[in-house]
Amino acid sequence: MATMASSASSVSAFSMASLRSALPNVKSNGGGFYASASSSLRLSRSVPSLSLRTRSNVNTNALQVSRCFTGLALSNPLLLSGSDNNGFENGFTIIDQGSRFYAMRHGRRVPKLNRPPDQRRALLRGLTTQLLKYGRIKTTRARASAMRKYADKMITLAKDGSLHKRRQALGFIYEKEIVHALFAEVQDRYGERNGGYTRIIRTLPRRGDNAPMAYIELV
């Protein structure tokens, strides 16, 4: 039994010694940790040379090397003098290539028109109503492009001519007389045409804000 105990103690002592030799010698430094001189991960504690005027103004006891993890690779040791370098990010190299990041708007299927959804739908309904009433209106290019599909859809509903399509058009267009006139005259005007019921013509920008303007009209 004594022989087995002595052999077990020798094995445990050998294993602990090998483990200590394999690990770097890490010592405590006032709450932080830094590697010893035998480890290659220790940061340099050498204070850079200062001029005579700077050396007279800065207290050498106030210069401290910031505590950090041994795995971080800093460009320079942080010298916390209390006035110049008071942030942790000052020791890292900042890489700025002038890149800009935007929110991901991949498809951009819905033009926002700088309005919330309810106001945007009301705006498009009003523009469609005015286009079907007067045949030609002037608005911005963005609004003209956004309302184009709604005007084409109303004409497509009128070409169908059913009661269900009429009620759908009445739910979108503000004036009932325009809906009834559209359903009555659409076959004579667009009976032979399959799509492309509107035309957008660009014009001069608007005075004041220089917004791009355009005319949208029925073909």
SS3 content of the chain, % helix, strand, coil (to 5): 45, 10, 45
Give dist(CA 128, CA 187) in Å, integer.
19
**DSSP 8-state class, residue 60:** G
- pLDDT (tens digit per residue) in 121-158: 999 999 999 999 999 999 999 999 999 999 999 999 99
Q: Which two tokens stand for residue 9?
A: 């103690």
Q: Provide the token pair at 118.
A: 């309810």
Helix axes 141-160, 176-190, angle to 10 degrees: 80
* Cα separation, 187 vs 129, whole angstroms: 19
Note the pLDDT of residue 102: 62
Q: Which tens digit of pLDDT belongs to each residue from 29-84?
A: 554 444 444 444 444 444 455 454 545 454 545 444 444 433 444 444 444 444 45
Phi–psi pair at 172, nearest 5 degrees: -110, -45
Whether pTM > 0.75 for this model: the answer is no
d(CA 38, CA 41) in angstroms, rounded, equals 9
What is the number of alpha carbons within 13 Å of residue 212 lying toward its C-beta? 8
For residue range 185-210, what is the model confidence (pLDDT) as tens digits? 999 999 999 999 999 999 999 999 99
Task: Give strand pairing partners of 26.
Answer: 35
Segments of 42-117 assigned E as strands: none
Assigned token pair, 190: 């667009």
Do 157 and 168 touch, CB atoms closer than 8 A? yes
Residue 100 pLDDT: 62
Residue type, 185: E
According to DSSP, the residues that pair with 32 across neighbouring strands are 29
